Amino acid sequence: MSVVLKEVRDQKIELKIFFEKFAQKIVRRFLGELEKNLENEVLFVGCGSSYNLAFIVSQYFERILNLRSKAIPAGEIAFNKAPKIRDRGIAFLFSRTGNTTEVLLAKEILKSKGYTTIGVTIEKSSRIAKESDIPLVFPVEESAIVMTKSFNLILLTLMVAADELVGNSLELYKELVDYTEDFFDLAEKVVKDLSVQKYEHFVFLGMAEFFGVGLESALKCIEMSTTFSEAYSTLEYRHGPKALVGEKTLIFIHKVEDMNEQEKKLKEELKTLGATVVEIGESGDIPISNDWRSAFLRTIPSHILGYEKAIAKGLSPDNPPHLSKTVVL
Ligand code: F1P
Asked if residue 280 has pLDDT above 80, the reply is: yes
CB 48 less than 6 A from any atom of ligand 1: yes
> Nearest residue CA, atom 2 of ligand 1?
48
Best substitution site from 92, 100, 101 to test ligand 1's pocket, by max atoms within 8 Å of Cβ? 100
CA of residue 101 to ligand 1 center, whole Å: 11
pLDDT at 25: 81
Q: Which atom of ligand 1 is nearest to the CA of 223?
A: 10
Please work out whether the CB of residue 101 comes within 6 Å of at least one atom of ligand 1. no
Decide which of 45 and 166 is more confident.
45
Binding site membership of 96 for ligand 1 (Cβ less than 6 Å): yes
Residue 293 pLDDT: 98
Between 19-28, 44-53, 92-101, 141-150, the lowest mean confidence (pLDDT) is in 19-28
Long-range CB pairs of 164-171 (<8 Å, 24+ gap) are 164/24, 164/27, 164/31, 165/27, 165/31, 165/34, 165/35, 165/64, 165/65, 166/64, 166/65, 168/64, 170/24
Distances (CA, A) of 53 to 50, 76, 148, 193, 289: 5, 17, 11, 29, 20
Helix (H) or strand (E) holding 202: strand 201-206
DSSP string, 255-322: --TT-HHHHHHHHHHHHHTT-EEEEESTTSSB----SGGGHHHHTHHHHHHHHHHHHHTT--TTS-TT
Q: What is the pLDDT of residues 59-68, one digit of tens each?
A: 999 999 988 9
Average pLDDT over residues 187-192: 98
Average pLDDT over residues 183-193: 98
Residue 171 burial by CB count (10 A; 0-12/13-18/19+): exposed, middle or buried?
A: exposed
**CA 182–ligand 1 middle distance (angstroms):** 29
**b/e for 177-213, b at 16 or more Cβ within 10 A?**
bebbeebbebbbebbeebebeebebbbbbbbbbbbbb
What confidence score (pLDDT) does residue 27 get?
Answer: 77
pLDDT at 135: 95
In the prediction, which pLDDT does 23 show? 82
* pLDDT per residue as tens digits for the range 81-128: 999 888 889 999 999 999 999 999 999 999 999 999 999 999 999 999
Answer with the residue of higher pLDDT: 104 or 38: 104
Q: What is the pLDDT of residue 22?
A: 85
Pick the more confident residue, 6 or 88: 6
Q: In this model, does residue 286 exceed pLDDT 80?
A: yes
Q: How far is the CA of 109 from the centre of ligand 1 (A)?
A: 20
Test site for ligand 1: of 49, 154, 155, most ligand atoms within 8 A of the Cβ: 49
Pocket test for ligand 1, best of 120, 326, 328 (most atoms within 8 A of CB): 326
* 277-289 burial: b if 16+ Cβ within 10 Å, else e: bbbbbeebbbbbb
Q: What is the pLDDT of residue 87?
A: 85
Q: Indicate if the pLDDT at residue 31 is higher than 90.
A: no
DSSP secondary structure code for residue 116 in this structure: E
Predicted pLDDT at 85: 87
Q: Which residue is closest in CA terms to ligand 1's atom 4? A: 48
What pLDDT, on a 0 to 100 scale, did the predictor assign at position 86? 85
pLDDT value at residue 268: 98
* pLDDT band, residue 165 (cuts 50/70/90): confident
- Is residue 248 in contact with ligand 1, taking CB distance under 6 Å? no
Q: How far is CA 136 from the centre of its chain?
A: 17
* 213 pLDDT more than 80: yes
How far, in Å, are 46, 90, 119 from residue 86 at the CA level? Answer: 18, 11, 19
